[in-house]
Amino acid sequence: MLAELRERHDRECPHCTHATAHQRTVFGEGDPCARLMFVGEAPGETEDTLGRPFVGKAGRKLDEMIQAIGLRREDCYIANVLKSRPPENRAPLPLEVERCSPYLVEQLLIIRPRVIMTLGGPATKMLMNTDVGIMKLRGSWSQWVAPPGSPIVSIPLMPTFHPAYLIRNYTLETRAQVWSDLKAVMHRLAETA
Ligand code: URA
């Protein structure tokens, strides 16, 4: 089902079929039955070259985060709000998100993870349907509410900082905050084993 969605996305996505700054689309990867799904913002330069999510510097930090909670990257599913790299890595525009994110919603409905962890502001805003900033939202459980008529109603969602932000602000405080968010996810997954 994910392969079919990927083909359809690459053929039809009104954003990615028109965006010109990227070399290739980055659909997402991981265990299609993952219990934990990470959602980032958009591919960067390395991701655009390799066609895989979170494989640059931020990706190495995400790998560390995943290991810290006793999982392997291949146990999770990793995707982004936008499936093609914005020019000069700028933040996704509202229209771009509107056009590409329905495919992320379909991905979520196929994978149906037990927990979603959003990485940074754009993913959190999109999946929580809010304009509140990540500084206020991180660390507290929320829900991703599935579209009406979906086979599920909602999925627990924990917002945390984007790994690139963590790298830029590598302080005791931000590290403790991300660790606390990861621990909350780890405990939730253990409860729903
Ligand atoms: N940053 C993101 O948000 N996603 C990636 O895939 C890589 C970097």
Question: What pLDDT does 162 receive?
Answer: 98
- Residue 54 C-alpha to ligand 1 middle, in angstroms? 5
Assess if residue 108 is contained within a domain: yes
Q: What is the DSSP code string of the chain?
A: -HHHHHHHHHHH-TTTTT--S-SS----EE-TT-SEEEEES---HHHHHHT-SS-SHHHHHHHHHHHHTT--GGGSEEEESSSSPPGGGPPPPHHHHHHHHHHHHHHHHHH--SEEEEESHHHHHHHHT----HHHHTTS-EEEEPPTT-S--EEEEEEE--HHHHHHT--HHHHHHHHHHHHHHHHHHHHT-
- Per-residue pLDDT, averaged over 169-181, amounts to 98
- Per-residue pLDDT, averaged over 167-180, amounts to 98
Interval 146-164: pLDDT, tens: 999 999 999 999 999 999 9
Is pLDDT above 90 for 192? no
Assess if residue 98 is contained within a domain: yes
Q: Residue 120 CA: which ligand 1 atom is closest?
A: 3
Residues constituting the chain:
193
Assess if residue 192 is contained within a domain: no
Interval 69-116: pLDDT, tens: 999 999 999 999 999 999 998 999 999 999 999 999 999 999 999 999
Q: Residue 52 CA: which ligand 1 atom is closest?
A: 6
Please name the residue whose Cα sits nearest to atom 7 of ligand 1: 54
pLDDT classification of 140: cutoffs 50, 70, 90:
very high
Question: What pLDDT does 85 receive?
Answer: 97
pLDDT classification of 21: cutoffs 50, 70, 90:
confident
Q: Residue 123 CA: which ligand 1 atom is closest?
A: 3
Whichever domain contains 147, its CATH number is 3.40.470.10
Q: How far apart are CA 2 and CA 54, in angstroms?
A: 19
Assess if residue 88 is contained within a domain: yes
Burial 100-113 (b: 16+ CB within 10 A, else e): bbebbebbbbebbb
Domain count, the chain: 1
Pocket test for ligand 1, best of 54, 62, 63, 104 (most atoms within 8 A of CB): 54
**What residues flank ligand 1, with Cβ below 6 Å?**
40-44, 47, 53-54, 58-59, 80
* Domain span including residue 62: 2-187
- Is the overall model pTM greater than 0.95, yes or no? yes
Is pLDDT above 90 for 193? no
- Residue 149 C-alpha to ligand 1 middle, in angstroms? 30
Assess if residue 152 is contained within a domain: yes
